[in-house]
Amino acid sequence: MTKPIAEELAKKQKDISVAEFFERNRHLLGFDNKRKALLTVVKEAVDNSLDACEEAKILPEIQIQIVEMGNDRFRITVEDNGPGIVKKQIPNIFAKLLYGSKFHTMKQARGQQGIGISAAVLYAQLTTGRPAKIWSRISPQDVAHYYELHIDTQKNEPEIVKDEEVNWKKENGVKIELDIDASYQKGDQSVDSYLKQTAIANPHATIIYTNPKAEQLVFPRASDKLPKEPTEIKPHPYGVELGIMLKMLKNTECRTLQSFLTQEFSRVGPGTAKEICDKSGLFTNMKPGELQLPHVEKLVEAIKTTKIIAPSTDCIVPIGEELLEKGLRKEVAAEFYTAVSRSPDVYKGIPFVIEVALAYGGEQPADQPIRLLRFANRVPLLYQQGACSSTKAVVQTNWKPYGLSQSQGAIPAGPLTLVISLVSVWPPFTSEAKEAVAHYPEIIKEMKLALQEAGRRLGSYVNKKRRVADQQERVGIFENYIPEVADALSRLSGTGKERIMESLKKMLSKNKEYIQAHKEAHKVEVRDKKDKEEQVKLGGFEDE
């Protein structure tokens, strides 16, 4: 008797270690290549620091240092002045994947999944074998803790290499040091560029950065005002899919379906809850835990057809027109700046706000495509520009009336830096690497409206500038022509050339009204041209 095949197969079935998982999915986590890995590690650490500072209401001051150690090996140090992390949590936060505080909440933050920093630690471990070094201190009264951590890749648990109390001059904050395989290049997708853009979208933060070339770049804060703290909201029914609904039903402490709906969701009152129950053929007093899969499916369907008011939007904290403009102003040298904040809107029951800012002119090249800077919850998005909804919104906007050149279906060209920022309790990314915002029609529509508003302001500036330039050019033309006209008139009339010239020059300098007849003149030209065309049309023949 042969063994059932399932027995054979069972031999191969086992836990997949996090290391294997990481190896297979490194592209999803932003570690596709050495260059990108450098950026991702810095980004995860900086994002965490900024989130932590803001939560603790501390104006962030973040120091980043990258040192090249040869053989494509780099030492990255990121240090913040945040609240620090209590001793007990340090190993879990840094050396356990999918551990975090943010995944379960509906609140605007940079991080989401609790995967970022521990993935960075794992990457360091896999490429150099070196442990992550962590310093943390929560107050001047407390001692600083120092850890060296590995991740047990079989169990996805922290492995503590060293744990000691140390002297650290910092009163509070966290410092992490990682050795990784990487490569450093300047350019649009570099760490340098990422930090500069971070400074634009976070004008309340000071960032001090020493790059592998030992150049120190300081991005000082432009504002002493901390962003308002985002409030946590409950999920809106429109954004909840079957899987999440099942999990919520299982975890709730509510005793009835009615109370589950009214208490676990935003914008669901007793009336709405009853309507949902009626539509799905369920009793309001059913116990949430007793719902079977078919019931839950009906419930989700019923929600889709029920009118529920949009979620409250005060949970979102946009950067604000003033600060966004300030941020742009300090990092991009230009002639004209403006920023637009839209009011909040909602996609799939999730509130979001679109903000746009632009910097025009200066030394920026006029014949190149504009520079598009994309942000999601104040985090710069450097990759996957083509896949991002903001690119789509830019391309679908007609920039010609605003003084830029643009070919059909392309990013416009001109001396412009354009910032598009999305803030949301849950920004919809196209992948876990958080590189591009997904194409939700509501989001693209808001982006386009913001772009148009900013574009109109740009247009009126560009046109005004053009008018002034025209005016100057016109004066120039007359200055060139005056001696010639004076000469010809003098030859015809016998009056001295100098006298005529003087008089003409006086008219030019004194009275601009003479040369402002431009528009009228243009009309005459057009009429002449029309006549000529008509003539050709009618006569059709050249004579003599």
Partner 1 sequence: MSKKPKEIIEDLGKDLTKEVLANKPPIMDVPIRALSNVTYDKKSRTLQLGSKKSERNFFNVAHSKKFLQTLEVAAASKELLEVGKHTSLRDVFYMIKRTIPNTKINIVDEQTESDDAIEDLEVLTGLSREQLNINANKMGSVAGHVVIEDKGDEIDWSRMGSGGWSIPSNVEEIKFKKVNAKYVIYMEKAAVWERLHEDKFWDKQNCIIMSSQGQTTRGIRRLLQRLSQEHSLPIYVLCDGDPYGYYIYSVLKYGSINLAHMSESMTLQNAKYLGITVDDIEKYGLKKNLIAFKEVDMTRLEQLQNYEWFKDHKEWQRQFKMMKTLKAKLEIQALSSRGISFISDKYLPEKIKNKDWLD
Restricted to residues 465-484, the positions that interact with partner 1 (CB under 8 A) are 474, 477-478, 480-481, 483-484
Nearer to partner 1, 215 or 544 (CB): 544
Q: Is 515 in the site for partner 1 (CB under 8 A)?
A: yes
Q: Is 505 in the site for partner 1 (CB under 8 A)?
A: no
Among 400, 491, 498, 509, binds partner 1 (CB under 8 A): 491
> How far apart are the C-alpha atoms of 229 and 316, rounded to whole Å?
9
Q: Which amino acid is located at 499 in the chain?
A: R
Segment near partner 1 (CB under 8 A); pick from 114-122, 131-139, 449-457, 504-512: 504-512
Restricted to residues 291-310, the positions that interact with partner 1 (CB under 8 A) are none
We find the least distance from the C-beta atom of residue 361 to partner 1, in angstroms, to be 25
Nearer to partner 1, 28 or 485 (CB): 485
> How far apart are the C-alpha atoms of 260 and 38, rounded to whole Å?
45
Nearer to partner 1, 290 or 520 (CB): 520
> Within its chain, how far is the Cα of 178 from the centroid?
26
Q: Is 542 in the site for partner 1 (CB under 8 A)?
A: yes
Distances (CA, A) of 122 to 34, 129, 151, 332, 432: 14, 9, 7, 36, 16
> Within its chain, how far is the Cα of 30 from the centroid?
16
- Annotate 174-215 with three-state secondary structure: EEEEEEEECCCCCCCCCHHHHHHHHHHHCCCCEEEEECCCCC
Q: Which residues of 325-358 are buried (b: 16+ CB within 10 A; e: fewer)?
A: bbbbbbbbebebbbbbbbebbbbebbbbbbbbbb
Among 76, 357, 372, 504, binds partner 1 (CB under 8 A): 504
DSSP characters over 525-538: HHHHHHHHHHHHHH
> How far apart are the C-alpha atoms of 249 and 261, rounded to whole Å?
10
Nearer to partner 1, 449 or 489 (CB): 489
Nearer to partner 1, 9 or 492 (CB): 492
User: Which residues, listed in sequence order, are joined to residue 419 by a DSSP beta bridge?
Assistant: 357, 373
Segment near partner 1 (CB under 8 A); pick from 105-113, 249-257, 302-310, 494-502: 494-502
Q: Is 286 in the site for partner 1 (CB under 8 A)?
A: no
Nearer to partner 1, 441 or 540 (CB): 540
Segment near partner 1 (CB under 8 A); pick from 217-225, 309-317, 413-421, 499-507: 499-507
What angle in degrees, to the nearest 10, is found between the helix axes of 191-201 and 34-55? 20
Instruction: Give the footprint of partner 1 on this chain (CB under 8 A).
Output: 474, 477-478, 480-481, 483-485, 488-495, 499-500, 503-504, 506-508, 514-515, 517-518, 520-522, 524-525, 527-528, 531-532, 534-535, 537-544
